[in-house]
Amino acid sequence: MKKTILFALIIMMVMPLAGLFAEGQKDSDAVVIGANIYSFQDGFMNAVMKPTLESYAAERGAEIQIVDSEGQQAILNNQVDIFITKGVDVLAINLVDPASAQAIIDKAKKADIPLVLFNKEAPTEVRNSVMASYDKVWYVGTDSAESGIIQGQMMVADWKARPEYDKNGDGKVQYVMLKGEPGHPDAEARTRESVKAFTDAGIGVEQLALEADPNWSVQHGADKMAAWLTSSFAKDIELVICNNDNMAFGAITAMKAAGVRLPIYSVDALEQALTHISEGELDGTVLNDGVNQAKATIDLAINAAMGKDVVEGTSWKLTSDGSKAVRVAYVGVTPANYMDFQ
Ligand code: GAL
Ligand code: CA
């Protein structure tokens, strides 16, 4: 009898502890991550990155605070100061203006807090100098150029397979481009590489129009496409290149309203893009794997906060070129394989 009571007591004492370890400890020892998203208005960041940062931090037993930088670098600078004053263990920062990377790195360095930059990479000069000079800063994102290369290869393959794409039969591609944020490494590289795929394949190109939008938004895509479809060159457009899905969603709406269906390609592979592909309204997109970028950001942040090697115990690999970056691969999504991504 006595033994049974003792046993029950031990079980009662041990159970809460077991629960604690099973769920990942949410106690005062939990790593506290101070994070931001450059703008909560951004479709991809809000639909994919933010929810995964939150759920995966919880899964790993860390505490994360995510603030909205409202598209203003000054707001982000201030938020970083507040995080540092509060004493967070690590910063996970999505730059607003990539050119301001140094300011953020300097703040972290001065406070001796590890910093994981994600999604928007610092310019090459900053990477080579400032990032190299602080041993506790890393980058998680993609190889920006890869998305443009994959999108370009998809478009070239379709161009070759479908002679009707060349409406005026001059052997050249008359295209319009929705670029996204000027100066954003993804926007710059996608703009360059997607077009380069045509010239590399010996196909001539002619840019009819290009518009940029710091917010990569649906509204921008809709407005610009609607304007192009009533412009003097409306009849000449043979291809619509979009550097992200949201701008393509707007362009698709504008085309439908005008009763026009031009070949159109984008990047991100949001759920809605897969639906547009299944309905024959989008010809291809490129998976921007935000889930894995968010997971890598959290894994590196936790390791850095604990003073461990940042990739210890994870499946992530730092690039071998010394850029202290984890780069998640892009994948092409076409009418032939989109089902695999749903
Ligand atoms: C890109 C993404 C865009 C936009 C941008 C924000 O990687 O393709 O849709 O979210 O990041 O920085
Ligand atoms: Ca042509």
- Per-position pLDDT tens, the chain of length 342: 455 555 555 545 544 444 444 444 445 789 999 999 999 999 999 999 999 999 999 999 999 999 999 999 999 999 999 999 999 999 999 999 999 999 999 999 999 999 999 999 988 888 888 888 899 999 999 999 999 999 999 999 999 999 999 999 999 999 999 999 999 999 999 999 999 999 999 999 999 999 999 999 999 999 999 999 999 999 999 999 999 999 999 999 999 999 999 999 999 999 999 999 999 999 999 999 999 999 999 999 999 999 999 999 999 999 988 789 999 999 999 999 999 999
Of ligand 1's atoms, which has the minimum distance to the CA of residue 94? Answer: 12
pLDDT at position 131 is 86
User: In angstroms, what is the span from residue 45 Cα to ligand 1's centroid?
Assistant: 7
In short, whether 83's Cβ falls inside 6 Å of ligand 1 is no
Strand partners, 264: 240
Output the CA torsion 261→263→269→270 (10° steps).
-20
The domains of the chain are located at: 31-142+289-328, 145-288
Q: In sequence order, what E strands does the chain have?
A: 32-37, 63-68, 90-93, 115-118, 137-141, 172-180, 204-212, 239-242, 264-265, 285-287, 325-327, 331-333
Q: Which fold has domain 145-288?
A: Rossmann fold (3.40.50)
231: tokens are: 């412009």
pLDDT at position 4 is 53
User: In angstroms, what is the span from residue 205 Cα to ligand 2's centroid?
Assistant: 8
In short, whether 186's Cβ falls inside 6 Å of ligand 1 is yes
Question: Same CATH fold, 145-288 and 31-142+289-328?
Answer: yes
pLDDT at position 5 is 56
User: In angstroms, what is the span from residue 143 Cα to ligand 1's centroid?
Assistant: 13
Domain 31-142+289-328 class?
alpha beta
Residue nearest to atom 10 of ligand 1 (CA): 44
Quick check: pTM over 0.95? no
Of ligand 1's atoms, which has the minimum distance to the CA of residue 268? Answer: 8
In short, whether 44's Cβ falls inside 6 Å of ligand 1 is yes
Q: Is residue 63 within 8 Å of residue 30, measured between CB atoms?
A: yes
Nearest-ligand number for the alpha carbon of 249 = 1
